[in-house]
Amino acid sequence: MSGGLQIQQFSLDLHPSLIEFANSVHLPIMLNRQFLDHYYLGQEWSRLFLALDGPKCLGIIGVDMLHFTTQASSIKAAFATNFHSLQSGIGGMLWLKWLKLGDIGLVFGGSEDTHRIVRARKFDYYSGINLYRMNALFESYKEDSAIKGIVKAGLRPWVRKKLSEYASANFLRRFADIKIVEHDNFSAGMLVQTSPFTLCFRPSLEYLQWRYSPRLSYVRYRIFQFFRLGQCCGYCVLNDGPNELMVVYADGNDPESLAAGILKAIFLVGEECDKHKKAVLASSHPEMQTIFTESGFHLAEKDYSFATGSLRGSLNLGNPQTWMINIGMGDNDLRQHMFQPTIKSIPKQKVRDSKG
């Protein structure tokens, strides 16, 4: 390494260096030009930094700026994305760049290598945030033997069903007063004004329109607004992937209504899919967890890694049981199989009730 190492924010003239690096570490997400241009250029919420030794890229880190609210204040969290380095010492420089940009640094999920670094730097870990899956029995994994894979494949058609078929008669009776509307964009009328959650990722309308736009070419997002007795009670965003439906963002003014609205959106989309489609979401709120598991979700991963740290000392975020946490923070939902071809048309506003 020469003495000319620099950390530079990504721009189009650095594209050749980034492509060479992405190929060397097998990072296909960085080879998608539509994603790269939209996600890391032309807006204020997400940036990509390259560690450069002359024209050669030795490491990268993306930083998403996430606006969290508590019941007393707001927090600017820097969420690390696509953190990779080729040489020792490079990672530490990128790490400092990340932590300097926010009130706190946030890691939600991430590789074991990332968490080795996080633990070494004494980040605070919060337990109680779980991942839940629906219709995912007998899922295949890389470590499965050939025989085990064949057995699972044979059993799946017998135990899986369309997501809409998880809508029980009891659920539909209990939440008959909740209606859902699918939109082709966000509006100010969706945004929650009074929150029951002590910590919630609550971005601006402009951020939502940028990050979860249904018009993106590399992923398919669908927006649903919920109403109870004629009053807006929340909304959610689903990543409608080829094989999996992911609840990437949701917010509301009541945990029960929000959980029910999310489920009705899943059941509605499930009517369009075959029985191989799965669903996944994250939750730390006990009341919402109960509603999810009563309606077909199963615990997939307990205490999904959620860690925060700062160069200025720790910041206690309180009890996760009072939080609203979504899996689609940062680029968590934009990995590998979640990419979709260009969506040719966006549905007009539709009032739908998902069997109820």
In tens digits, the chain (356 residues) has pLDDT values of 455 789 999 999 999 999 999 999 988 888 888 899 999 998 999 999 999 999 999 999 999 999 999 888 899 999 998 888 888 789 889 989 999 999 999 999 887 878 888 888 889 999 999 999 998 754 655 565 655 555 444 445 545 689 999 999 999 999 999 999 999 999 999 998 888 999 999 999 999 999 999 999 889 999 999 999 999 999 999 999 988 999 999 999 999 999 999 999 999 999 998 888 899 999 999 999 999 999 999 999 999 999 999 988 778 899 999 999 999 998 888 875 445 444 434 444 555 554 44
Element (H, E) at 291: helix 286-294
Beta-carbon count within 10 A of 277 CB: 23
Domain ranges of the chain: 5-62+83-102, 130-304+319-352
Q: At the top level of CATH, which class does the domain 130-304+319-352 belong to?
A: alpha beta
Please state, in angstroms and rounded to a whole number, the distance separating the CA atoms of residues 238 and 183.
12
- Residue 351, helix vs strand vs coil: strand
Measured CA to CA, the distance from residue 238 to residue 329 in angstroms comes to: 13
Q: Which of 88, 75, 19 is nearest to 50 (CA)?
A: 19
- pTM, two decimal places: 0.87
- 321's CB contacts (< 8 A; 6+ apart) are 128, 284, 285, 286
- pLDDT of the residue at 280: 95
Instruction: Return the SS3 of 337.
Output: helix
Which of 261, 268, 281 lies closest to 347, judged by CA?
Answer: 268
Q: Which of 91, 117, 103 is nearest to 66 (CA)?
A: 103
State the Rg of the chain over Cα.
21
The maximal CA–CA distance of the chain, rounded, in angstroms, is 69
Quick one: CA dihedral 154, 155, 161, 162, positive or negative? negative
